[in-house]
Amino acid sequence: MSTPTEPHYRQPLLKTPFHERARALSQIDRFIPWAGYTTVDVFTSAEQEYFSVRNASSLFDLTPMVKYRVAGADALRFLNRLMTRDLAKLKPGKVAYVVWCDDAGMIIDDGTVFCTGPNEYRICTAERQMDWFTASAIGFDVRISEVTEEVAALAVQGPTSYSLLRAVGLAGLERLKPFEHGQFSMPGASAPITMMVSRTGFTGDLGYELWMEPADAGVVWDTLMRHGGTRGVRPIGSQALNMVRIEAGFVLPNLDFVSAAHTLRIGTERSPIELGLGWLVDFKKGHFTGRRALLAEQTRGPRRQLVGLDIEGTKPAHNSLLYTQRSGRTEAGSITSATWSPTCKRNLALAMVDAPYIATGSVLWVEIYLNRELVWERRMVRARVVERPFFAPARRRATPPAEF
């Protein structure tokens, strides 16, 4: 973590504890801002980095993920009123994927909750949430603090990630199941480094996330890179991550939905049911913010839903409109995220589609614009609504994972 020596307005983007390492390995100088930090978009080539996630091991710096510590006698009650899932079932050592909504049942953000002890939690979110968490804490005995800068985070993902982490000395990792976390240690420069490791990730593949002291970040990175060898470890940027998360069917705020805390236009906010995350909503656990609105929506039926599309051809359908017929007369929705999937060898997309066309197997038409040396072409191609995730290898769940 760079200690701000200058006032914050003189260094509008912070540097993560991995920044110097990343900068040294960045070959094309493609950095982008992410949640107040400067982070790597592409190190060398997004495709190369993509294949390190699917065929080897990848390092992704996710320090900018916003992190909160939540503790207090009412911590569980607070979380259960804030989030749509029933977290009473989340025991220490477990992680849950969650969303939370405003009063109208529209998503404010998604994230993960780590139960770190009785009535003690860490929440990781995409965007800053202190305002909403503070409002949600009225009437509850709970302390919330942001710990983003106190924790450096590194995702180690890919089929060889388990072997790589074993090689650097993380003993006992073979017992860690998906959505579990624990304390592990590895040899450091002088003393052993202890850190929290969770078997979580945003790739849909076998992988882990390492949560460490910022001071240990450099040593951990160097050690992992040193032990890469035939396991093929490589740092990756946001572009490669975006390809794999689409394959895994994960949604991203500001791409697949806009937080209800930020939308200005009526009707642009999205509910968990519309995002296909209805399975995260537990109507039986008691009251939570947005429950009454979501119950009404469930009764009424969703007006639209996020679905997976398998599109003809090989050209990614970025930002395309969807139509019911080739004629393009009646709109049926639009693409939110698109990629050519090198592993599936399919042209994939996530799309927000009007209710009549959300059933798996529905056929829609996609309008794709192609820039061919500044000559624009328009293609109408067929797309089919398919199940998500598009790519779900068995290795992501195997415990213990295979050795390489």
Residue number with CB closer to other proteins (39 or 136)? 136
Residue number with CB closer to other proteins (288 or 391)? 288
Cα gap 318→337, rounded to integer Å: 7
Residue number with CB closer to other proteins (43 or 288)? 288
How is the chain split among helix, strand and coil, in percent rounded to 5? Answer: 25, 35, 40
Cα gap 162→171, rounded to integer Å: 11
In this structure, what are the phi and psi dihedrals at residue 180, rounded to the nearest 5 degrees?
-120, 155
Cα torsion at 254, 259, 260, 262 (round to 10°)? -70
Q: Which residues bind to other proteins, rule: CB under 8 A?
A: 77, 81-82, 102-103, 132, 135-136, 138-140, 286-287, 289-292
The DSSP bridge pattern shows strands 181-186 and 66-71 to be unpaired
Provide, rounded to whole angstroms, the least separation between the CB of residue 106 and other proteins: 11
Residue number with CB closer to other proteins (234 or 291)? 291
Provide, rounded to whole angstroms, the least separation between the CB of residue 86 and other proteins: 14
Provide, rounded to whole angstroms, the least separation between the CB of residue 276 and other proteins: 23
**Other Cβ atoms within 10 Å of 118 Cβ, number:** 10
Provide, rounded to whole angstroms, the least separation between the CB of residue 115 and other proteins: 20
Residue number with CB closer to other proteins (22 or 98)? 98
Cα gap 15→2, rounded to integer Å: 6
Provide, rounded to whole angstroms, the least separation between the CB of residue 80 and other proteins: 9
Residue number with CB closer to other proteins (62 or 87)? 87
Give the DSSP letter string of 50-109.
HHHHHHSEEEEE-TTSEEEEEESTTHHHHHHHHBSS-GGG--TTBEEEEEEE-TTS-EEE
Provide, rounded to whole angstroms, the least separation between the CB of residue 77 and other proteins: 6
